[in-house]
Amino acid sequence: MVVPPSLRRRPFRLLWIGLIISINGSQMQQWALYWHIRQLTDQPIAVSVLGLVRFVPIVILSLFAGVIADRFNRQKLVIVTQVALGLVALTLGLMTYFNVISLRAIYILSIVQSVAITFDLPARQAIIPNLVTPEELPNAYSMNSISHKVGAIVGSGISGMVIAYLGLQWVYWFNAVSYLVVVSAVVIMGTISMKVIKKPLRFDLIRVDIREGLRFMHFNPKG
């Protein structure tokens, strides 16, 4: 069997396995939330509101999150965001189990989740070049893309079965455990050498970095 080059690197292999499990859990939770909202209300607009509360934090914070990923240790940032996501899932499960869940609670927790994801994604993407060689980097990003596609397909299917046989709360609890797997993988891989930009976290400097990032994306649309 031919092993992809990037998976021969133990740190990346640990992260990749953790991400597959975590993405499956995230997809399970996403579909469970749609079903949960349908149980709480018959108003179609409720699902649209869920999409809105997820979208707004990403739009507002995505550029700032990229700056934070450049200036802080990405391993620690991933651990913080994954723990936050796990606590959101755990809270959803407990509130569902004790039957104190509401639409408002789902929306608030979804906002917290979206904020955590906004900071988690650039940190995870930026950590990959530190786990493989430059020659293995294209393969690493390909494997990362595969993990998202596998998780999207498998997670949605598993979600329905868990809801049917165990209940909604178990979907949330399984997702909480899946984030713990990523945290464990990041801790087990040990300290990774990475370049961190040493700049004060001042508004004027952050604004300059964001402007430079936008300029880079404009002149390097494929990069």
User: Residue 92 sits in a domain of what CATH number?
Assistant: 1.20.1250.20
Per-residue pLDDT tens over the stretch 94-149: 999 999 999 999 999 999 999 999 999 989 988 998 999 999 999 999 999 998 88
pLDDT of res. 223: 46
pLDDT of res. 108: 97
pLDDT of res. 209: 59
pLDDT of res. 198: 65
Per-residue pLDDT tens over the stretch 184-211: 999 999 888 776 666 655 555 556 656 6
For residues 44-65, average pLDDT: 90
Q: What is the mean pLDDT of the chain?
A: 88
Task: Report which of 32, 9, 30, 28 is spatially closest to residue 20, judged by C-alpha positions.
Answer: 28
For residues 59-65, average pLDDT: 85
The half-sphere exposure of 18 on its side-chain side, counting CA atoms within 13 A, is 23
Look at the chain and report how many structural domains it folds into: 1
What pTM, to 2 d.p., does this model score? 0.88
Per-residue pLDDT tens over the stretch 169-180: 999 999 999 999
The DSSP line for 30-88 is HHHHHHHHHHH---THHHHHHHHHHHHHHHHHHHHHHHHHHHS-HHHHHHHHHHHHHHH
pLDDT of res. 79: 95
For residues 23-36, average pLDDT: 95
Domain hosting 128: range is 5-219
Q: Which residue has the higher pLDDT, 205 or 82?
A: 82
Cα→Cα distances 60→57, 140, 212, Å: 5, 29, 17
pLDDT of res. 69: 80
For residues 6-24, average pLDDT: 93
